[in-house]
Amino acid sequence: MDVRINEVRGAILFDGLEQALLGFGSQHGREAIAIYSLKKILLILSRDMSQADAEEFFLFNIQGLWAGDRTPIVLNDTISTEEVMKWL
């Protein structure tokens, strides 16, 4: 258990978006990075603002954020696998 905790120690997390956290990922030789659900982020943000405002807030304040190599990843889970396969 301590090994897993040590792997994620120091990861950058988004305040107030704990329910959108999916977990942590990493690549060989790199430290763990937090991974968030876009669908859940927008749902959480839209509790306090309109959907359009939530999307705008996300674009400018979350997607546009660079906080170094451990900046969280936002997984776009708003589209289905079938939709993506049509584009390939």
Q: Which helix (H) or strand (E) holds 73?
A: strand 73-75
What is the value of pTM for the model shown?
Answer: 0.84
- 37 neighbors 31 (Cβ within 8 angstroms): no
The residues near 56 (Cβ < 8 Å, ≥ 6 apart) are none
CA neighbor of 21 nearest in space, from 3, 2, 8, 4: 8
pLDDT in tens, 20-43: 999 999 888 888 899 999 999 999
pLDDT in tens, 45-66: 999 999 999 999 999 999 999 9
Count of CB atoms situated within 10 Å of the CB of 74: 21
